[in-house]
Amino acid sequence: MTNPNNSLTSEAVAVPLLDWYDRHARRLPWRAPPGASRMDPYHVWLSEIMLQQTTVATVKDYFERFLTLWPTVEGLASADLDRVLTEWAGLGYYARARNLHKCAQRVVEDHGGAFPDTEEALLNLPGIGRYTAAAIAAIAFGQRAVVMDGNIERVIARLNTVETPLPAAKPALYALTDAVTPDARAGDFAQAMMDLGATICTPRKPRCMLCPITAVCAGKDMAETLPRRAPKKVKPTRTGMAVWIENTNGAVLLRRRPESGLLGGMMEVPSSPWTEGVEPPETEEGAYGMPVSLAPGSFRMMGEIKHTFTHFHLRLTVARAQVVDADLPKDCIWCPLDNLGDVALPTVMRKVAKAALL
């Protein structure tokens, strides 16, 4: 691939970068120690799915926990989806967990339990897009693949002073990444670029003085301003009221959300609809009409929690009440307070629980 600005070669970038990587590579649970045998594709895949939209520090414990529970892809494939969602709780983007489970089953059923070793075949698996297919091909199978994620986009935009805003700049950034990707050690190169982006070539306050490739970086004097981005949209605020309903056995009423959409398949504290542009409800009238009768006088306001999703802010008032009688639909359970840690509760609902129990 020709180099569009005709200045940066793979050698000028990859040699000092890989040298830095060999000396400073972070020891991570999913990374082979230097000189060790190749990583298990199952481990590479699991870590890459978790690392989508999620930081290394957050992923570490989840990764080790998943491998303890399911040491092989066959084990994960035969696990209950609800168990996988429970273990995934807190990582966010729960469609990833559903696709993870589906992908494990496809690997077992269609590929005899072995991950395919081409980008094209990997791309056909659920939850594996362009980035993850390239990363697995390079890291697990030693192939030359062009790996592009947000960190690498940033490093490349700065190296070449690309001033076109994202996402329009993506094709140019891909070509520039292709131009500096070496034939050998493409997997280590990709990991080195991502490490560099995470620790040195950071979005704000980049540490150019510590950068192993600062000598060949065209953008080092304007690094913090790159890459440029199209202006972001403002998020609206939605409000509602969540009602923490307890029975006399010390259990709380939880409901499973629909399989798809926001927090798909996760458990929730029942709440009123989340509506935009109104003040959060503070009376019983705002409560969701669950098929329960509440003990007279047991309804109390417990405070308010805030949470932000991809496309809106949420303010939920939290109320607490005692139940007298209930005829629960199938998607509802009574969860003993001691078992709250063992259900698929997303972070926003853990905030609700905390407010209700204070």
Which residues are catalytically annotated? 48
Q: What is the CA radius of gyration of the chain?
A: 24
Q: Which of the 8 DSSP states describes residue 305?
A: E
x/- letters, 223..242, toward DNA (CB under 7 A): ------x--xx---------
**Interaction of residue 126 with DNA, rule CB under 7 A:** yes
- Closer to DNA by CB, 232 or 249: give it: 232
Among candidate residues 122, 129, 139, the one with its CA nearest the CA of residue 186: 139
**Site stretch for DNA (CB under 7 A), options 21-29, 70-78, 177-185, 257-265:** 257-265
Q: Which of the 8 DSSP states describes residue 229?
A: B
Residue entry with tokens 């560099």: 196
**Interaction of residue 151 with DNA, rule CB under 7 A:** yes
Least CB distance from residue 350 to DNA, whole Å?
A: 8
**Site stretch for DNA (CB under 7 A), options 109-117, 214-222, 293-301, 340-348:** 340-348
x/- letters, 176..205, toward DNA (CB under 7 A): ---------------------x----xxxx
- Closer to DNA by CB, 154 or 292: give it: 154
Beta bridge partners of 209: none
CA–CA gap between residue 124 and residue 103 (Å, rounded) = 10
Among candidate residues 236, 190, 146, the one with its CA nearest the CA of residue 21: 190
- CB contact at 8 A, 134 and 145: yes
> How many other CB atoms are found less than 10 A from the CB of residue 174?
17
- CB contact at 8 A, 62 and 71: no
C-alpha distances out from residue 132 to 70, 97, 149, 152, 248, Å: 21, 15, 9, 13, 49
- Closer to DNA by CB, 34 or 90: give it: 90
Q: Left (φ > 0), alpha (ψ -120 to 50) or beta: where does 72 sit?
A: beta
Least CB distance from residue 114 to DNA, whole Å?
A: 19
**Site stretch for DNA (CB under 7 A), options 13-21, 88-96, 181-189, 210-218:** 88-96
**Site stretch for DNA (CB under 7 A), options 22-30, 104-112, 177-185, 258-266:** 258-266
Least CB distance from residue 132 to DNA, whole Å?
A: 3
**Interaction of residue 130 with DNA, rule CB under 7 A:** yes
Residues 21-50 that bind DNA (CB under 7 A): none
Q: CA angle, 25 as apex, 24 and 27 as ends, to 5°?
A: 125
Least CB distance from residue 150 to DNA, whole Å?
A: 2
CA–CA gap between residue 177 and residue 305 (Å, rounded) = 43
CA–CA gap between residue 242 and residue 287 (Å, rounded) = 7
x/- letters, 277..296, toward DNA (CB under 7 A): --------------------
Q: Kindly list the residues in this chain that would bind DNA in the complex (CB under 7 A).
A: 52-55, 57-58, 89-95, 99, 126-133, 149-151, 153-154, 167, 197, 202-205, 229, 232-233, 261-264, 307-311, 346-348
